[in-house]
Amino acid sequence: MKMLINSPQTVVADALRGLAAAHPELDVDVERGVVVRRDAREGGRVGLVSGGGSGHEPLHAGFVGYGMLSAACAGEVFTSPVPDQMMRAASAVHAGQGVLFVVKNYTGDVLNFQMAAELAEEDGVRVEQVLVNDDVAVTDSLYTAGRRGTGATLFVEKIAGAAAEEGAPLEQVAAIARRVNEFSRSFGVALSACSTPAKGGPTFDLPDGEMELGVGIHGEPGRERRAMMPAREIAEVAVGAVLEDLGEVPPADGPVLALVNGMGATPLLELYGFHAEVVRLLEARGVPLARALVGNYVTSLDMAGCSVTLCRADEEMLRLWDAPVQTAALRWGR
Residue numbers at the binding site for its own copies (CB under 8 A): 2-7, 10-12, 14-19, 21-22, 54-55, 57-58, 62, 77, 191-192, 208-209, 211, 228, 230-232, 234, 260, 264-277, 279, 289, 292-294, 296, 299, 301-302, 304-306, 326, 331-334
d(CA 196, CA 216): 15
Beta-bridged to residue 213, according to DSSP, are 189, 224
Q: Strand pairing partners for 102?
A: 50, 130
275 catalytic? Reply is: no
Least distance from its own copies to the Cβ atom of residue 129, Å: 26
CB of 254 to its own copies, least distance (A): 19
CB of 293 to its own copies, least distance (A): 8
Nearer of residues 117 and 293 to its own copies, judged by Cβ: 293
Cβ closer to its own copies: 42 or 334? 334
Would you say 140 or 208 has its CB closer to its own copies?
A: 208
Sign of the four-CA dihedral 133, 134, 140, 146: positive
**Which one is catalytic: 23, 60, 218, 275?**
218
> Which one of 56, 60, 94, 275 is the catalytic residue?
56
Closer to its own copies at the Cβ: 168 or 313? 313
Residues in the chain: 334
Least Å distance, CB 166 to its own copies, is 20
- 26's CB contacts (< 8 A; 6+ apart) are 19, 20, 35, 36, 37, 38, 61, 64, 65, 328
Angle at 242 between CA 241 and CA 243, to 5 degrees: 95
Determine the straight-line distance between the first and last CA of the chain, rounded to whole angstroms: 41
Q: Which residues contact 122 (CB under 8 A, 6 or more apart)?
A: none
94 is catalytic: no
- Which C-beta is closer to its own copies: that of 121 or that of 233? 233
Angle between helices 170-182 and 152-165 in degrees, nearest 10:
160
Query: Least distance to its own copies from the beta carbon of 168, Å?
Result: 25
Q: Give 88 or 275: the residue with its C-beta nearer to its own copies.
A: 275
Q: How far is the CB of 54 from its own copies (least distance, A)?
A: 6
Which residue number, 254 or 295, has a Cβ lying nearer to its own copies? Answer: 295
Least separation in angstroms between residue 77's CB and its own copies is 8
| Per-residue CA distances from 252 to 163, 183, 244, 288 (Å) | 26, 12, 10, 10
Which residues are known to be catalytic? 56, 218
